[in-house]
Amino acid sequence: MDISKLIANTKLDTSSPYYLQIASLIKAKIDDGSLTVGERLPAERELALLFQVSRTTAINAYRHLEKDGYISIKNGSGTYVSDRYILGNRSNYEMPWPQLLKPYMQSSMSSLMSELMVSNVLEDKISLDAGMPDPNFYPVHTFSKLYLDNLSALDPKDFGHIPIHGYEPLRNRITQMLALEGIRCHADEVVILSGSQQGLYLTARVLIEPGDYVIIQEPTYLGAIQVFQSLGARVLSLPQREHFPLEILEDYLARYRPKLMYCIPTFQNPNGAIIKAGERKQLIQLSARYRLAILEDDPYSSIYYEDIPPMSLKSLDDYGGVIYLSTFSKTLMPGLRLGYMVAHPSLINRIILEKQYVDLHSNNISQWLLDLFIKEGHLGEHLTKIRGIYKNRRDVMADALNLSFKSKLSFHIPQGGFYIWCRINESLSSKKLLQEALKTGVSFIPGEAFYAAPGEDREFRLCFSQHDEKVISEGINRLEKAMEKLKKKPFSIPKREIKPMI
């Protein structure tokens, strides 16, 4: 609004200096919203005329307002009402956002992980943390070629809204692909997801109410634990054993009546464990008896380095209780943001309703390209290629660990997936090791990140997929240096006393 109208009937008095009175008046008009952010104010000369004061008084009024953050004076361009909110100054009214937000269940790892991210200072740091494929092998060029070759056959409608379930040809393609893996399903039982994380979220959203029990295998994928906890679930952990702990599971089933078990049966993240074929059958029989829903997360089973892993739980599912989840983020590239879920139609129909709220449907371009990619046989080729590459990297990392650490670490060589799960044989903390490691230029994920409740802190996860052999060796080298440094530090038992806060 024009300032001259705002001050039409204003008279200055002698109670305080004129420049302060003018400043107060303008402040009030900014605070009440009559003058808004970005609005241009009169030039000093005009302001002086408006209030019939000297130009010096006008200049002082503006300087005072600028000091308080109400306006900004841009030489040569004019004086403007400042975005006080951005500059840190506040209007009389300000939204109390933190008080308005719903309570948030924060996992104890979240802060550690953020610290870890911020600590990434060394320029040549070697990341053995994130579980991602090597970007050098993302099949970007094949996707580009498919784009070019098929563009003319494209129906513009494919770039409009498509069904929530996903792009139909891709759903059919996945159904065919799964049939070869022993999973027989209709395309209607398949939903394309914006990454498999979305399947975790949606499944939890439609099933979990606060206080419900969910079973996980410990250690397991952090993102799953977080989703369950954020929805108020109580998480029961199955410990890792040589044999799948069916008796503990049965005890949990009888005692707590859990709604869901989350499970990575093949090349578990982080420890590479596999549930054996016989145990899978027993697990399904037990789950069927108790009508336990199983969320089978299967991102790694096609990235095997030795024998072909056992058939999925879904392929054995004869009671309709297994929800099968997979992704193309580990096999192709995370940026596709595509995964899929296969489950009983009753569940799928409800998942669809929830997905509609979340994003209507997943990205069309990715779905169209992925369908072409699978159709032309590139997926099989690509898998063969990366299995060779990653197997080699696994072996190099395992050799380097044996050579550098000898008996200081224990680990199993995983038969697939991206990770070597290590246990420190001495009394050293993996979180403290990480602090030293970041200084020597290598990172990994401390074991606590994979547990619902923190335990002893002597495990950690190394990822071997992201870097070539030379970098992996150098990374393990740096890790060993970090451990040597840590051992030389005076050992201090952390204080366990927690004093009342009064």
Cα–Cα distance measured from residue 83 to residue 485, given in angstroms and rounded to the nearest whole number: 50
Residue 242 vs 318, nearer CB to its own copies: 318
Q: Candidates 202-210, 268-276, 299-307, 398-406: pick the segment binding its own copies (CB under 8 A).
A: 202-210
Query: Which DSSP state fits 298?
Result: -
Instruction: Examine residue 284 and tell whether it contacts its own copies (CB under 8 A).
Output: yes
Instruction: Examine residue 38 and tell whether it contacts its own copies (CB under 8 A).
Output: yes
Q: Which of 246, 288, 352, 413 binds its own copies (CB under 8 A)?
A: 288
Cβ burial 215-245 (10 Å sphere, 16+ → b, else e): bbbbbbbbebbbbbbebebebbbbeeeeebb
Residue 49 vs 112, nearer CB to its own copies: 112
Cα–Cα distance measured from residue 231 to residue 8, given in angstroms and rounded to the nearest whole number: 57
Instruction: Examine residue 361 and tell whether it contacts its own copies (CB under 8 A).
Output: yes
Q: Which of 102, 488, 495, 496 binds its own copies (CB under 8 A)?
A: 102
Cα–Cα distance measured from residue 357 to residue 137, given in angstroms and rounded to the nearest whole number: 34
Instruction: Examine residue 453 and tell whether it contacts its own copies (CB under 8 A).
Output: no
Shortest spacing between CB 286 and its own copies, in angstroms? 9
Residue 57 vs 363, nearer CB to its own copies: 363
Shortest spacing between CB 322 and its own copies, in angstroms? 9
Shortest spacing between CB 457 and its own copies, in angstroms? 24
Q: Which of 2, 45, 54, 140 binds its own copies (CB under 8 A)?
A: 140
CB 244 within 8 A of CB 281: no
Residue 124 vs 209, nearer CB to its own copies: 209
Cβ burial 101-114 (10 Å sphere, 16+ → b, else e): eeeeeebebeebee
Shortest spacing between CB 283 and its own copies, in angstroms? 10
Q: Candidates 11-19, 132-140, 391-399, 437-445: pick the segment binding its own copies (CB under 8 A).
A: 132-140
Q: Which of 115, 359, 426, 484 binds its own copies (CB under 8 A)?
A: 359
Shortest spacing between CB 91 and its own copies, in angstroms? 5
Shortest spacing between CB 76 and its own copies, in angstroms? 19
Instruction: Examine residue 132 and tell whether it contacts its own copies (CB under 8 A).
Output: yes
Count the site residues for its own copies by CB under 8 A.
Answer: 96
Instruction: Examine residue 156 and tell whether it contacts its own copies (CB under 8 A).
Output: yes
Q: What six digits make up the tokens of 327?
A: 């992704």
Instruction: Examine residue 119 and tell whether it contacts its own copies (CB under 8 A).
Output: no
* Subset of residues 364 to 393 that bind its own copies, contact rule: CB under 8 A: 364-366, 369
Q: Candidates 21-29, 60-68, 330-338, 490-498: pick the segment binding its own copies (CB under 8 A).
A: 330-338
Residue 75 vs 152, nearer CB to its own copies: 152
Shortest spacing between CB 56 and its own copies, in angstroms? 30
Instruction: Examine residue 210 and tell whether it contacts its own copies (CB under 8 A).
Output: no
Shortest spacing between CB 427 and its own copies, in angstroms? 34
Q: What six digits make up the tokens of 406?
A: 């000898």
* Subset of residues 289 to 328 that bind its own copies, contact rule: CB under 8 A: 289, 291, 293, 315-321
Q: What six digits make up the tokens of 137?
A: 């092998």
**DSSP bridge pairs for 341:** 191, 325
Give 61-91 as a DSSP string. HHHHHHHTTSEEEETTTEEEE--HHHHT---
Cβ burial 78-97 (10 Å sphere, 16+ → b, else e): ebbbbebeeeeeeeeeeeee
Shortest spacing between CB 261 and its own copies, in angstroms? 13
Cα–Cα distance measured from residue 393 to residue 397, given in angstroms and rounded to the nearest whole number: 6
CB 246 within 8 A of CB 480: no
Which single residue is written with the structure tokens 């309709």? 320
Instruction: Examine residue 187 and tell whether it contacts its own copies (CB under 8 A).
Output: no
Q: Which of 13, 14, 75, 161 binds its own copies (CB under 8 A)?
A: 161
Q: What six digits make up the tokens of 308?
A: 């072909």
Residue 233 vs 433, nearer CB to its own copies: 233
User: Beta strands of 158-222 (E only): which ranges?
Assistant: 190-193, 213-217
> What character string, x for contact with its own copies (CB under 8 A) and - otherwise, covers 70-99?
-------------xxxx----x-xxxxxx-
Cα–Cα distance measured from residue 246 to residue 287, given in angstroms and rounded to the nearest whole number: 10
Closest CA relative to residue 243, chosen from 196, 285, 278: 278
CB 330 within 8 A of CB 356: no
CB 472 within 8 A of CB 156: no
Residue 227 vs 273, nearer CB to its own copies: 227
Q: Candidates 32-40, 53-61, 448-456, 487-495: pick the segment binding its own copies (CB under 8 A).
A: 32-40
Which single residue is written with the structure tokens 């072996």? 395
* Subset of residues 216 to 245 that bind its own copies, contact rule: CB under 8 A: 223, 226-227, 230
Cα–Cα distance measured from residue 353 to residue 35, given in angstroms and rounded to the nearest whole number: 45
Q: Candidates 129-137, 377-385, 435-443, 480-488: pick the segment binding its own copies (CB under 8 A).
A: 129-137
Shortest spacing between CB 495 and its own copies, in angstroms? 30
Measure the N-to-C terminal CA separation of the chain; round to a whole number of Å: 52
